[in-house]
């Protein structure tokens, strides 16, 4: 490990606390990959698909909203961007703050929910909505996958490695 690396969550907690701790862990891993990066570098696509550090932050904030606020809690108001595309006005500081605010909002939804509680919206006709447990596990997987992308993008940008 390099200086500033994060340690995995504790192993002596209950299921919900463990799931939230792992989600917070991978969220912070994504944010850590942006530390010390300029807006110019964070905006620069690292691969042909256009993925950049700014794109990852915007996408993950939108995914948090979509899964916890829209599908699970059933909010009637969509308060997220209409697309994951990075806008000219987006900054690293602004997107990190927006992502942190969104994760605080979604953690409050999780805190109030039972893991077996079923969400408010169906994802597919004829299939029941997912449970909070399913949403948490999905978001851990989604965020961890993108944390790996952020690792690669950051290493390509300036050689920084570590988690």
pLDDT per residue as tens digits for the range 38-85: 999 999 999 999 999 999 999 999 999 999 999 999 987 666 666 778
| CA 49 – CA 61 distance, rounded (Å) | 19
Taking Cα atoms as reference points, which of 132, 156, 149, 122 lies closest to residue 60? 149
Q: Domain holding 106: CATH number?
A: 1.20.120.450
Residue 98: exposure state from Cβ atoms within 10 A (0-12, 13-18, ≥19): middle
Residue 123 lies in a domain: yes
Residue 52 lies in a domain: yes
| CA 62 – CA 75 distance, rounded (Å) | 14
Residue 14 lies in a domain: no
Residue 7 lies in a domain: no
What is the number of structural domains in the chain? 1
pLDDT in tens, the chain (163 residues): 344 556 667 667 899 999 999 999 999 999 999 999 999 999 999 999 999 999 999 999 999 999 999 999 998 766 666 677 899 999 999 999 999 999 999 999 999 999 999 999 888 888 889 999 999 999 999 999 999 999 999 999 999 887 6
Residue 4 lies in a domain: no
Integer CA distances (angstroms), 34 to 14, 101, 103, 107, 125, in order: 31, 17, 17, 22, 39
DSSP 3-state assignment of 55? helix
Domain span at residue 75? 21-158
Residue 13 lies in a domain: no
Residue 163 lies in a domain: no
């Amino acid at each position: 490990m390099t200086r500033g690396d994060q340690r995995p969550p504790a192993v002596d907690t209950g299921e919900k606390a463990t799931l939230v701790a792992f989600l917070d862990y991978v969220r912070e891993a994504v944010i850590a990959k942006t530390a010390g990066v300029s807006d110019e570098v964070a905006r620069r696509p690292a691969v042909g698909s256009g993925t950049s550090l700014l794109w990852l932050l915007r996408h993950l904030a939108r995914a948090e909203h979509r899964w916890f606020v829209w599908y699970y809690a059933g909010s009637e108001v969509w308060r997220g961007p209409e697309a994951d595309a990075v806008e000219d006005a987006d900054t690293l500081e602004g997107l990190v703050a927006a992502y942190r605010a969104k994760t605080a909002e979604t953690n409050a939804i999780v805190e109030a929910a039972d893991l077996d509680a079923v969400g408010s919206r169906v994802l597919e006709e004829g299939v029941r909505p997912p449970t909070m447990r399913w949403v948490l596990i999905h978001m851990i997987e989604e965020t961890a996958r993108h944390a790996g992308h952020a690792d690669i993008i950051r290493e390509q940008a300036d050689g920084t490695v570590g988690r």
